[in-house]
Copies of this chain bind each other. A is one copy, B any other.
Amino acid sequence: MSVERLIVVGGDAAGMSAASQARRRRPELEIVAFERGPHTSYSACSIPYYVGGLVDQANRLVVRSPETFRERYQIDARVLHEVIGIDLEQRRVRVQRMGEGGAWWEPFDHLLIATGALPVVPDVPGADADGIFGVSTLQSGIRVRQAVDERRPENAVVVGGGYIGLEMAEALCERGIEVALVEMMPQVMNTLDADMASRVADALRAAGIELYLEEPLVRFETAEGRLRAVVTSQRTLPADIAILGTGVRPNADLAAEAGLPLGDRGSIVVNERMQTPVEGVWAAGDCAQSFHLVSRRPFYVALATVANKQGRVAGVNIGGGYATFPGVMGTAMTKFYDLEIARTGLQEREIAALGWECESATIEDHTRSRILPGAGRIAVKLLAERGSGRLLGGQIVGAQGSAKRIDIIAVALHAGMNVDQVIDLDLGYAPPYSPVWDPVATAARQLTKRV
């Protein structure tokens, strides 16, 4: 019997998680992974901390190198190799070395598409100028860090007030740069409700960041191909560098050209086992569609946690096992300096879009017993369906010890709990870690009175 061959397109979290799982279960499987960048399996989420200087070497972000994959896992991880075509009929992919001509075909029995996401580059004049950076790949992170180290910029503009925008704003502040953040929406952190997002905006301003809300980007002003300023609908902001935190989209062009169906926001349609409709062809990670377990709708999200889980599930299945990825809750978190920010489930806007009705309660409390030193403030917002009381989502903004409390809400959502059940949860308590009623339970007590 001939040896079967798995080709993985994309050498980051989803692709290499899958490859490792498949290897563990099928020692005889030939596994080749093509990655167009120079790195495999790195922590893209850590790029802001590398740019900010908390992490000194870019290679510390690499979890497993191509050498490790080759030597420890017998996975042929070929970096700087781009897959430029997928032929589902003949079961082969077309590959070329980056920067070289001459492509060739590589056959597969199993194919995992893990091509990730691409940054959304605003369609405005000057967007290709030198000094404008996305931060989606480790390569792009290295370029930003180099620019900061070598050019010593005085002024930076961050475009977009989401996760990447906030994290990069902090990183650039940490490097002594004057930072302005422009956001076209009336709030930062669009995945939070406006009332919770305003707490984040206050923290940005308190850190000295110039914050301009409801100001769409108009163009980048350049001189000799190099960025000079960022022009919004209201003003011109001098900028030695600009960071694009304008979101990502699934990198699904190859899959679409091959004829695979696309779903939410153009992500690759997969079932719970991460199978595309074509036998032996799988997709996982930031290019693949997920399922939202609260809305019960297909849902696109680009997050490392999801990519790792989907990759694991794909790998178990490719390896002959059986695993499913039931879906996501929309859990996400970040920080801005000491302010911890987290959300899960559906926010007000999403609930309204579903045509559902909700009640919410927001409480302020302390992260630990208020009488102990270091007790910080925490705000918890819970959302529940009107009438039924079914928990729909939660948001947390607060001091140290706040953000991971989102897990209480996320697990309660997984369990389909009503808000009054959250009151009864036997959560951990000790004065250094919580008030006797955890703030999440306190929010549930408030909300129960309303639904």
Contact = CB atoms under 8 A, between A and B. Distances in A.
B333 A428 contact: yes
Nearest to A396: B428
Contacts of A405: 404, 407
Contact of A305 (B332, B334, B371, B429): B429
A46 B372 contact: yes
Given A426-B329, A428-B342, A436 B372 contact: no
Interface in A324-352: 325-335, 340, 342, 344
A421 interface: yes
A54 B428 contact: no
Given A43-B371, A309-B424, A428-B344, A433 B410 contact: no
A410 B407 CA distance: 11
Nearest to A163: B430
A68 B304 CA distance: 50
A406 B424 contact: no
Given A369-B46, A371-B43, A401-B404, A428 B332 contact: yes
Contact of A45 (B54, B304, B427, B429): B429
B333 A433 contact: yes
Nearest to A429: B305
A342 B404 CA distance: 15
Contacts of A84: none
A102 interface: no
Q: Which 9 A-B pairs have the closest CB atoms?
A: A415-B415, A411-B411, A329-B426, A333-B428, A331-B426, A305-B429, A406-B428, A60-B371, A46-B431
Interface of A: 13, 43, 45-46, 49, 54-55, 60-61, 293, 303-306, 308-309, 325-335, 340, 342, 344, 369, 371-373, 401, 403-408, 410-412, 414-415, 417, 421, 423-434, 436-438
